[in-house]
A and B are shown apart, each in its own frame.
Chain A
Amino acid sequence: MRRMTRRALGVLALALCAGTAAAGPMQDLLQRNRALIEESSRRTIAPAIEAVATSGLPQAQQVLRAWQDKALAIDAAGRFWIAGEGAPLDPEGELAAPEGDLDRIKPNSGIRALLGTALVSFQLTDPDPARRMAGLDSILRDPEPELLAPLRASMAGETDPAIAARKERLERLLTMRFGEDEAARVAAIEALSGDISVEARGALNPLLATRRVAGPAGETPEGNLAARLVPGADGFGHAAAYAMLVDAGLAPPRPTDAQIRDALAANIEAGRVAGVPVAQLGDPGRRAAAYDALAGQGLVPPRVDEAQVEAALAAHGFHEIYLEPSAAVTDAARRALAAIDTKVTAMKGVDLGLDALSLASIYFLAAIGLAVTFGVMGVINMAHGEFIMMGAYTAYLVQQLVPDRTLSLIAALPAAFVVTFAAGVAMERLVIRHLYHRPLETLLATFGISIALQQLAKIAFGTQARPLTAPDWLGGAWIMNDVVGISHIRIAIFVLALMFLGFFLFLMKRTRLGLETRAVTQNPGMAASAGIDPGRVNMLTFGLGSGIAGIAGVAIGLYAKVTSEMGADYIVQSFMTVVVGGVGNIWGTLAGAAMIGGLQKAIETANPSNTLAAQTYMILVVILFIQFRPRGIVALRGRAAGD
């Protein structure tokens, strides 16, 4: 009654305000379809949406969106309004005053989906390329058969070549799933063969979705058969097979041990269950007998023993059926996926190679300082890892002082070098100098220093990991395709490793210090007679090795975490790198780093679930490797190698 009154008042108001609330073409159009719109039924709404969408009116998209957002409303006068966040607009997009309260039209989800589809064609023809791209992305996220038509329609008018290519590709993805004719679908699938993108794989895989059916033996079920399943083979266990039979009502359920126990407990009468004393039920045979007796009385479902399970399985056949009915389509999809898999495997190999390369760079960086102190000077420095840590913490402190990430990184590299160089020189002067020719004691003394430094860092910085943030330009990743990619930090570390290799070669082969170092290494007495101060050379060499460790620490800190134990994480690998590579040769260190890094990645790939085990296996492989090349990959031979 009240509604009627409001209508009447509305009509009256419409007559009165005809000048203010303009009756435009969209309002007219909506009024023509008002009955359908107000009925708001999934089955009948299509013509109304179609009418708006194809009207060619500029406001069509806005109206459809408002409708979808439940913002299309009718006022008391029966006129349509767009009730957004602010003041309501009339369908022509002009501000005006509605009559009385607005009654919002609430389309159900089915209608909203239809509206979405209609909107997509607007988006796909939007003048703004970004909107068009966003529209394509939304289709990819949520592919629907209905989207195929608007997509195809939009392709003809596309001017942007990149978007055109994308549309074409998307059209293929949709066609192969929802296309009406089999040949077109197969063609679309075949066009994707060898495409390793995630979206291609994502589109192909659903085509091969299957379901499992159980039926009498010897009978082949209806449908596009994928495989015949044999219980007990290929991850299709007896238990799973029997469960399928039970689910299909083809076999009685099997009481579990727990159910049997509960059933027995529920049927205890005067200390006995079906005549068997409770105390004897710990014996599996007696327990079974008691339960069978209960089953015989009809109190519990009967037991199903192994033989019965076997018989039931033998009496039935199990098949896997494709959800997709067309065999031609599934065959094509299988072939395409196989081709893609081959390519993806190859690409994964490339990606693995990149990963291994970057890991090798890190090991090389960590080990190069060690190669100097251990390889060139023959000094075991177990505190080498702590120098790496000191470098990383130095960079962290610099970052606290200099807020600009790029500047702080540039400042941190020399700062880390200076700090660890000084620490290395101090350690050489105070400790190692006194322990030349006592390698095992050097090992132990430097280990003592390592313990002390680690604990000092723990006291100074706490056990929490400290962040060392890379500048933004190092934050991204270089992505070749959906399989192969590598982060910029890893590339930077690789470049840094190359620079160090060059620097080291230059230093050793082209500078006075390098010459003196080599001289002292080969014959300290002779070098001293030639006027070289072995003490000074040893000090500088050790400082240099430590300084390089400090810079490596900055790089590793950017890539991993900065903790007091980060050095300890790398020390064993670093030593292995030097030992495997061959002592006293920078190329050996490089080869060692490549081998350890590559090996670790390869083992991790072969056993992806378990990186701890991968490290174990890697160490075992290295121990075995030492059997065949006790002096490392690049070995000095003969009398020069010494014994």
Chain B
Amino acid sequence: MTGSFLSRNPSVPVMLGAILALVFAVTVFSEAMGGGLSTSFVKTLGMTLCLALAALAMDLVWGYAGILSLGNIAFFGLGGYMIGMWLMAARTRDVVTANLAAQPIPPTPSEIDAAVAGQIFGVVGSDSFPLVWAFSGSLAAQLALVVLVPAALAAVFGWLAFRARVTGVYLSILTQAMTLALALWLFQNDSGLRGNNGLSGLQNIPGAEGVPQAEVALWFLWGSAAALALGYLLSAWLVSGKFGAVLRGIRDNESRVRFLGYPVEGYKLAIFTLSAAITGVAGALYYPQAGIVNPAEMMPIASIYLAVWVAIGGRGRLYGAVIGAVAVSLVSSFFTSGRLPDLDLGPVRLVWVDWWLVMLGAGFVAVTLLAPKGLGGLVDLWSRRRGADRHGADLGPDAGALREQEAEA
């Protein structure tokens, strides 16, 4: 808690330097600049940075405050939906206006509205804008909603859950249920967000029709890198001060914090809401690069991935979340790209695209069992940071990272 910001956060300059170096290298070698890196790879990198930001937010709630939130993917998706509404509405309006201009009689504003609505909502059998699209015409409003909607959902849900003192796995299951509820709600056509079709064509940025995708991909890479860097700075500031000390106190011994007079619920709510807002921003940067956002992205299985990244990277350390997200998602896109030749093992044919999930699942179990500190633990080896001598079995990071209390049989 004392000392300068940098002395408390030695990883910050390293991380910022790494991000800067990556962005610089990719920009120089990108297709847009005449280099050899394909546009799809640049997009993959940009998306990976967004995932790292989401993982960072996950680490804030899980690694620092001990709340294993399986709802963060919902905030991620909501961020995507919020920006997607503007992208889709604005882009469709441009296209429709161009089409209608070719007709003998110029269209009235209400005719344009109706045509845009028909274009967007035709697939769900509707021809008018639902109420949730009220602000879709304004970029500024939707950008604000990117932060506000996930934060509001987190605030309401968190208030209910924390107030009832739901903790541990109960809280995880409840957040999982929240994610499922949101996904199911979005799946229905009446939700006003195009049901299972989701929002599509998000890679087309309104007003940038003439710009090649190679260049747009670079813009988003820069944007994602900037967001990650800012997010990292913000997170480092949050967790290295007294606020962070209280959070870790809550993680390790909630009732002690309470008996010190700290309003535990308030702290949990603050970090949960903040994490939701950061995740929303990450989602808003991710989905325009992915091109489509639909409710399947928020199904329970997706919610666990965020946790997996953080666990593999090593929770309770900010760089761990970033390393985990980058490593797993890059390896994942390598295996699922279909570029790897199938392996013929006599009776079984190893199709990597299929077997990757099996490997991920098994590998994840292995990390949990054998290396609870994750990849971040490697840094400890290098920096020779050691834990205190324990008087019992290793309790793992969950039961308080450094506890003398003997592990029970």
In the complex, is A directly touching B at CB under 8 Å? yes
Question: Which A residues lie within 8 Å of B399 (CB)?
Answer: 437-438
Which residues of A251-295 are within 8 A (CB) of B?
257, 261, 264-265, 268, 273, 278-284, 287
Q: Are B176 and A447 in contact (CB under 8 A)?
A: no
CB <8 Å contact, A627 and B160: yes
Q: Which residues of A contact B358 (CB under 8 A)?
A: 451-452, 455-456, 459
Q: For the complex, what is the distance from the CA of A428 to the CA of B396, rounded to whole Å?
A: 18
Give the residue of B110, B166, B169, B409 whose beta carbon is less than 8 angstroms from that of A525: B409
- Interface bits B161-199 vs A (CB < 8 Å: 1, else 0): 101111011101110111011101101101000000000
* Known contacts A440-B68, A443-B68, A452-B361, A282 near B408 by CB under 8 Å: no
Is B214 interfacial (CB-CB < 8 Å)? no
Interface residue tally of chain B, by bracket? Answer: 35 or more
Instruction: Provide the residues of chain B in CB contact with A626, threshold 8 Å.
Output: 160-161, 164, 166, 170, 174
- The residue from A459, A620, A624 contacting B355, defined by CB atoms under 8 A apart: A459
Q: Is A444 an interface residue (CB 8 A)?
A: yes
Total inter-chain residue pairs, C-beta < 8 Å: 179
Q: If A440-B68, A623-B174 touch, does A534 touch B180 (CB 8 Å cutoff)? A: no
A524 within 8 A of B: yes
A572 near B300 with CB under 8 A, answer yes
User: Is A579 a contact of B106 with CB atoms below 8 Å?
Assistant: no
In the bound assembly, the distance between CA atoms of A434 and B367 in angstroms comes to: 12
- In the bound complex, how far is the Cα of B103 from the Cα of A434, in angstroms? 71
Query: Cβ of A613 < 8 Å from any Cβ of B?
Result: yes
Which of A273, A459, A571 lies at the interface centre, i.e. has the most chain B CB atoms within 10 A of its CB? A459
Q: Which residue of B lies closest to A534 (CB)?
A: B409
Contacting residue for A576 out of B160, B161, B163, B173, CB 8 A: B173
Q: Tell me the bound Cα distance from A440 to B351 in angstroms.
A: 32
Which residues of A sit under 8 angstroms from B163, Cβ to Cβ?
A: 627
Interface positions, chain B 305-337, Cβ under 8 Å from A, are 307-308, 311
CB contact between A437 and one of B157, B300, B408 (< 8 Å): that residue: B408
Q: Is A630 an interface residue (CB 8 A)?
A: yes
Residues 20-63 (chain B) with a chain A CB within 8 angstroms: none
> Please, which residues of chain A bring their CB within 8 A of the CB of B111?
257, 261
Q: Per DSSP, are chain A's interface residues mostly helix, strand or loop, or mixed?
A: helix
CB pair A435–B169 under 8 Å, yes or no, is: no
- Who on chain A is nearest to B299 by CB? A568
Q: A494 in the interface, Cβ–Cβ < 8 Å?
A: no
Any A CB within 8 A of the CB of B201: no
Does A615 contact B184, Cβ atoms closer than 8 Å? Answer: yes
Contacts of A449 in B (CB 8 A): 361, 365
Shortest beta-carbon distance from B387 to chain A in Å: 16
Q: Are the CB atoms of A630 and B407 closer together than 8 Å?
A: no
Encode B343-368 as 1/0 by CB contact (under 8 A) with A. 00000000100110110111111001
Contact pick for B181, options A450, A455, A619, CB 8 Å: A619
Known: A448-B364, A449-B365, A459-B355. A619 touches B255 (CB 8 A): no
The verdict on A451 contacting B301 (CB below 8 Å), with A278-B104, A287-B108, A445-B364 known, is yes
A33 vs B358: C-alpha distance in the bound complex, in angstroms? 86
| B395 and A437 contacting across the interface, CB-CB below 8 Å | yes
Contact of A612 among B103, B109, B184, B363 (CB under 8 A): B184
Q: Which residue of B lies closest to A529 (CB)?
A: B409
Give chain A residues whose Cβ lies under 8 Å from the Cβ of B409: 524-525, 528, 534
A631–chain B nearest beta-carbon distance, Å: 9
Are B180 and A279 closer than 8 Å at their CB atoms? no
B185 near A613 with CB under 8 A, answer yes
Which residues on A sit within 8 Å (CB–CB) of B396? 435, 437-438, 441
CB distance from A14 to the nearest CB of B (A): 71
B105→A444 contact, CB < 8 A: no
The CA of A572 and the CA of B396, in the complex, are separated in Å by 26
A431 touches B (CB below 8 Å): yes
Q: Are A615 and B181 in contact (CB under 8 A)?
A: yes
Task: Out of B106, B190, B307, B311, name the residue touching A281 (CB < 8 Å).
Answer: B106
| Residue B304 CB within 8 A of the other chain | yes
Chain A nearest CB: distance from B403 CB in Å?
A: 11
A627 to B162, CA, bound (A): 9
Interface check A542, CB cutoff 8 A: no
Question: Are B184's CB and A440's CB within 8 A?
Answer: no
Residue A643 lies at the interface, judged by CB distance under 8 Å to chain B: yes
B173 touches A575 (CB 8 A): yes
Within 8 Å CB of B105, what residues of A? Answer: 261, 264-265, 273, 278, 281, 287
The answer to whether A619 and B407 have CB atoms under 8 Å apart is no
Q: Which residues on B sit within 8 Å (CB–CB) of A447?
A: 304, 308, 364
**For chain B residues 227-246, which have a beta carbon within 8 Å of chain A?**
none
On chain B, the residues within 8 Å of A615 by CB distance are 180-181, 184
> A458 on the interface (CB 8 Å rule)?
yes
* Nearest residue, chain A, Cβ from B254: A643
Determine whether B398 belongs to the interface, using a CB cutoff of 8 Å to chain A.
Answer: yes
Q: Does A610 contact B (CB under 8 A)?
A: yes
CB-CB nearest in chain B for A287: B108
- Among candidates B108, B161, B365, B369, residue contacting A282 with C-beta atoms closer than 8 Å: B108
- Asked whether any CB of chain A lies closer than 8 Å to the CB of B118, the reply is no
* Interface flag for A622 (CB, 8 Å): yes
Query: What is the CB-to-nearest-CB distance from B309 to chain A, in angstroms, rounded to a whole number?
Result: 11
- B272, chain A: closest CB distance, angstroms: 15
The docked-state distance in angstroms from the alpha carbon of A449 to that of B106 is 60
Which chain A positions have C-beta within 8 A of B13? none
Separation in Å of the A281 CB from the closest CB of chain B? Answer: 5
Separation of A610 and B409 alpha carbons in the complex (Å): 50
Measured in the bound complex, the distance between the Cα atoms of B105 and A268 in whole Å is 9
Q: Are A458 and B108 in contact (CB under 8 A)?
A: no
Contact partner, B365, options A279, A445, A575, A576, Cβ 8 Å? A445
Interface 0/1 of A618-636, CB less than 8 Å to B? 0110111011001000000
The residue on B at minimum CB distance from A618 is B181
Judged by a CB distance under 8 angstroms, whether A148 is at the interface is no
Instruction: Find out whether the CB atom of A448 lies under 8 angstroms from the CB atom of B308.
Output: yes
Residues of A within 8 A of B173 (CB): 380, 572, 575-576, 579
A568-B301 contact, Cβ under 8 Å, with A278-B105, A284-B108: yes
B178 with A623: CB separation less than 8 A:
yes
CB-CB nearest in chain A for B362: A452
- Contact across chains for B178 and A440 when beta carbons are under 8 A apart: no
Residue in A273, A283, A434, A534 whose beta carbon sits within 8 Å of that of B108 in the complex: A283
- Chain B residues closer than 8 Å to A237, beta-carbon distance: none
A448 touches B180 (CB 8 A): no
Which residues 124-179 of B sit at the A interface, judged by CB distance below 8 A? 157, 160-161, 163-166, 168-170, 172-174, 176-178
Measured CA separation A265–B304 after assembly (Å): 58
Contact B369–A619 (Cβ < 8 Å): no
B168 and A440: CB pair below 8 A?
yes
A100 interface residue (CB < 8 Å to B): no
Across the interface, do A444 and B304 meet the contact criterion of CB distance under 8 Å? yes
Tell me which residues from 360 to 387 in chain B have a Cβ below 8 Å from any Cβ of chain A: 360-365, 368-369, 372
Does the CB pair B185–A268 fall under 8 Å? no
Cβ-defined partner of A445 (8 Å) among B368, B407, B408 = B368
Cβ B177 vs Cβ A622 within 8 A? yes
Q: A447-B304, A451-B357, A623-B177 known; A438 and B104 CB under 8 Å?
A: no
Does B107 count as interface, using CB distance less than 8 angstroms?
yes
Interface contact B170-A579, CB-CB below 8 Å: yes
Sampled A-B contacts (24; CB under 8 Å): A261-B105, A265-B104, A265-B105, A278-B105, A278-B106, A287-B105, A382-B304, A441-B396, A443-B169, A444-B364, A444-B368, A448-B362, A448-B368, A449-B361, A451-B304, A451-B361, A452-B360, A459-B354, A459-B355, A612-B188, A613-B185, A613-B188, A619-B177, A623-B181
Interface residues, chain A, CB within 8 Å of chain B? 257, 261, 264-265, 268, 273, 278-284, 287, 380, 382, 431, 434-435, 437-441, 443-445, 447-456, 458-459, 524-525, 528, 534, 568, 571-572, 575-576, 579, 610, 612-613, 615-616, 619-620, 622-624, 626-627, 630, 643
Task: Give 8 nearest A-B pairs by CB, closest first.
Answer: A452-B361, A448-B364, A282-B106, A619-B181, A451-B361, A455-B357, A612-B188, A616-B185
Q: A456-B358, A572-B300, A616-B182 are in contact. List 6 more A-B contacts (CB 8 A).
A: A261-B111, A440-B168, A440-B398, A449-B361, A455-B358, A579-B170
